[in-house]
Homo-oligomer: A and B are copies of this chain.
Amino acid sequence: MHPELIDTLVIPNTTKIIFLIMDGLGGLPGPGGQTELEAAQTPNLDALAKGGVCGLLDPVGYGITPGSGPAHFALFGYDPVKNNIGRGILEGAGIDFPMTERDLLIRVNFATVDKNGLVIDRRAGRIDNETNRRICRKLQENIRAPEAVEVMFQPVKEHRAVLAIRGDGLAEEIQETDPQQLGKPPLPPRALVPAAAATERILAAVVEQAGEILADEPRANMLLLRGYAKYRRYRSLYERYLLEALAIAGYPMYRGIARLLGMAIGAPTETVEEEIALLRREYGKYDFFFLHVKATDSRGEDGNFDGKVKVIEQVDSLLPDIVALGPEVLVVTGDHSTPATLAGHSWHPSPVILAAPTCRPDRVAHFSERDCIHGGLGRMPMMYLMGQALAHARRLEKFGA
């Protein structure tokens, strides 16, 4: 079954759906033999699991460790392989750059080259954000756009920026220019297919000019290009599911992904308490709420087992405020696993609770990876979660006569 089959069955309703996404929630046993979720005291999540139906979600596929882009696409019902989102678009979305379908988005790393043009620092000494903004302004003011395209430089953070080329017939099949080693010159932005020849010429001209414009800079005197991605428009959650959706997230990348899928974006938040306060304020205005908790993933990435446990316990303590709103469907899961013992994303499936008056409860009474194995949702591809949520919210009609 293709995940877009549900689109053909969508009907309007007034029910509300909340996705509480604890980024990188799933884990692995730590020193005590328990995972982060097992070690955490989570009476509220356990009660939710007891009344709801649980399971395990594979973000992309068996054994595949997903990036945040594909994992979130899967959460919202988009096939993460067919819709594999390029780094350039993700970066552009993260800084809220107004992308159009004529845009080629490119992730830029500022680098340092010596007088022979050999790369001596692939991150330009991690220049600060202020320098980054100054460099981008300098490039923007001095660049002469070649071949009737527009050229836009947008700072991101430290040595990272986005280069947007706007024009007709641009192609993303271009070789990345980072030589990956010091003491080598940047690679040329070579066309990987014949149709990318014009794009190659344009990018070669931009890089050459950028080298001249930045020649007097002590550190950020060269661009390295990667993650080329032609912007494409994705069908929105409203177009697909008739859901007016609000994203509540502090981190730019997740706000960006939500924006790509047509969600409204709540005011930036710093804490989970602020996110829940915002949810409460906006609850009447939308059908679907994406609440993103970043700290579970951050602690996991840091290899901080106890820190991740604490974040889970903190979210658990705030869960009653979300439950009190009375959404017809409340889903709690992660976008992927980030075990502290691996200090990074992993391929292990993500535990999930779906709580709804219409769900068929299982015997799971504790929210953990090991308990979710026995859940009524079974182990399923994450891209089917949204269909389950819509069904439980009575937002899908019958298939066939």
Where the two chains meet, the residues of A that have a C-beta atom closer than 8 Å to any C-beta of B are: 1-2, 5-6, 9, 26, 28-29, 35, 56, 60-70, 80-81, 84-87, 90, 227, 342, 345-348, 358, 360-363, 369-370, 373-376, 378-381, 384, 387-392, 396-401
A369: chain B residues within 8 A (beta carbon): 360, 376
C-alpha spacing A9/B6, complex, angstroms: 30
A26 to chain B, nearest CB (A): 8
Q: Identify A64's interface contact among B342, B345, B387, CB under 8 A.
A: B387
Q: Are B399 and A1 interface neighbours, CB within 8 A?
A: no
A374: chain B residues within 8 A (beta carbon): 373-374
Q: Are A373 and B384 interface neighbours, CB within 8 A?
A: no
C-alpha spacing A56/B2, complex, angstroms: 20
Residue of B nearest to A386 (CB): B63
What are the nearest 4 A-B pairs in CB distance? A1-B61, A63-B387, A63-B391, A378-B379
A322 to chain B, nearest CB (A): 22
Q: Are A391 and B65 interface neighbours, CB within 8 A?
A: yes
With contacts A62-B380, A346-B358 known, what are 10 further pairs, Cβ within 8 A?
A2-B81, A29-B361, A60-B399, A63-B391, A65-B399, A80-B400, A84-B399, A87-B401, A342-B358, A363-B373
C-alpha spacing A346/B60, complex, angstroms: 27
Known: A363-B370, A399-B60. A81 touches B1 (CB 8 A): yes
Dominant SS among interface residues on chain A: loop
Q: Are B398 and A345 interface neighbours, CB within 8 A?
A: yes
C-alpha spacing A370/B363, complex, angstroms: 7
Q: Are A6 and B64 interface neighbours, CB within 8 A?
A: yes
A398: chain B residues within 8 A (beta carbon): 65-67, 345
C-alpha spacing A250/B84, complex, angstroms: 44
A375: chain B residues within 8 A (beta carbon): 373
Known: A62-B388, A347-B391. A401 touches B68 (CB 8 A): yes
C-alpha spacing A69/B398, complex, angstroms: 11
Q: Are B64 and A9 interface neighbours, CB within 8 A?
A: yes
**Copies of this protein in the complex:** 2
A16 to chain B, nearest CB (A): 17
C-alpha spacing A387/B347, complex, angstroms: 10
Q: Are B347 and A396 interface neighbours, CB within 8 A?
A: yes
Q: Are B358 and A362 interface neighbours, CB within 8 A?
A: no
Residue of B nearest to A393 (CB): B63
A67: chain B residues within 8 A (beta carbon): 398-401
Q: Are A378 and B373 interface neighbours, CB within 8 A?
A: yes
C-alpha spacing A348/B362, complex, angstroms: 12
C-alpha spacing A393/B61, complex, angstroms: 16
Q: Identify A5's interface contact among B61, B358, B376, CB under 8 A.
A: B61
C-alpha spacing A192/B73, complex, angstroms: 33
C-alpha spacing A320/B208, complex, angstroms: 62
Residue of B nearest to A87 (CB): B401
A348: chain B residues within 8 A (beta carbon): 360
A343 to chain B, nearest CB (A): 12
Query: Which interface residue of A1, A61, A380 has the most chain B CB atoms within 10 A?
Result: A1
Q: Identify A376's interface contact among B373, B376, B381, B399, CB under 8 A.
A: B373
Q: Are B5 and A400 interface neighbours, CB within 8 A?
A: no
C-alpha spacing A158/B87, complex, angstroms: 60
C-alpha spacing A172/B348, complex, angstroms: 43
Known: A61-B5, A81-B5, A379-B378. A66 touches B399 (CB 8 A): yes
C-alpha spacing A29/B358, complex, angstroms: 9
A401: chain B residues within 8 A (beta carbon): 67-69, 85-87, 90, 227
Q: Are A399 and B70 interface neighbours, CB within 8 A?
A: yes
A90: chain B residues within 8 A (beta carbon): 401
